Amino acid sequence: MSLAVVGSIAFDAVKTPFGERERMLGGSAVHFSLASSFFADVHVFGPVGEDFGNEEYAILQNRSVNTDGIERVEGGKTFFWRGHYEYDLNMAHTDDTQLNVFGDFEPKLNDSARDADVLFLANIQPDLQRAVREQCPDAKFVALDSMNLWIDIAKDSLLQTIQGVDAVFMNDAEIRMLTGQSNLVKAARELLQLGPRLVIAKQGEYGAALFTEHGFFALPAYPLEDVIDPTGAGDSFAGGFLGYVTQHLDEGGELDDDAFRRAMTYGSTMASFNVENFGTERVRDLTGEEIAERFAGFKAITQFEEVAVSYR
């Protein structure tokens, strides 16, 4: 089965307490594609400018990501984001955003995207997400990501778009903000009532939580000694999650809750690698053996043996 992602392709300038990069490949579609490429055939769609060259294409193509859907706009400049992080890496600050060619992006998918079994609508304007979804009526599993900006300025559109997907990826604060519920469990249940099968709450250094109609599952973040740059961690998480889903969906687009729990673990595994270096630098040199070893590590830290206990 194949997987398509529509989202931003960018150049990022990032400064953290542990170093900085003035210009590196980034964007939601890039981080997602690299993470998911370890599990599935991935097709990436997004606009770039003339400043996006062979070196950037090679980073994706070396992981066998299909780049035919990248739209290179003559005379244009690629989306650019500059930001910095405090010692508390949950505290991100945007210093500059230049939409450039991304500001006029109107996704027009090719046959490979329209025929994809799994579709990820990365963090873009909800009307665009819905337009892409409508171009892929036969997708077996569709997921989206969003953010507080769209809740502020396009809430009704976002709620309408959520009704047409199978899974929602958002951070816990955004889920509460979208629903107006202060309790995350109640907030996730409210989103599930709109139609998605899954709500995944990203919780940064505290891990992630999965809500379905059948229950709840949560994972901690993998304990790391060196966290360098969290940029793209959420998209890497979604990439690992949906890459695993793509590999294991049956023809009817079904997976059981145990499979979704494993997808959560692979998502967290890929996110943990992403934060170990700047931008794409860690994930693009990753090996399958490293992924398997860290997955096993996740299993070890989340299992325990039950023994008999007497209660007074």
DSSP secondary structure string, 136-165? Answer: -TT-SEEEEE--HHHHHH-HHHHHHHHTT-
Tokens 């990203």 locate to 202
Pairing of strands 118-121, 141-145: parallel
pLDDT(196) > 80:
yes
Show me where the domains of the chain are located: 28-45+110-301
Helices (H), 195-280: 233-248, 257-274
Q: Collapsing DSSP states into helix, strand and coil, what is residue 283? A: helix
Looking at residue 254, what is its pLDDT?
80
First to last CA, the chain: 54
Helices of type H across 181-249:
184-192, 233-248
**pLDDT tens per residue across span 47-99:** 999 999 999 999 999 999 999 999 999 999 999 999 999 988 888 899 999 99
Q: Residue 253's pLDDT is what?
A: 73
Which CATH number is correct for 28-45+110-301, 3.40.1190.20, 3.40.109.10, 3.40.50.1400, 3.60.21.10?
3.40.1190.20
Residues pairing with 2 in the sheet: 41
Alpha carbons 62 and 125: distance in angstroms, whole number: 29
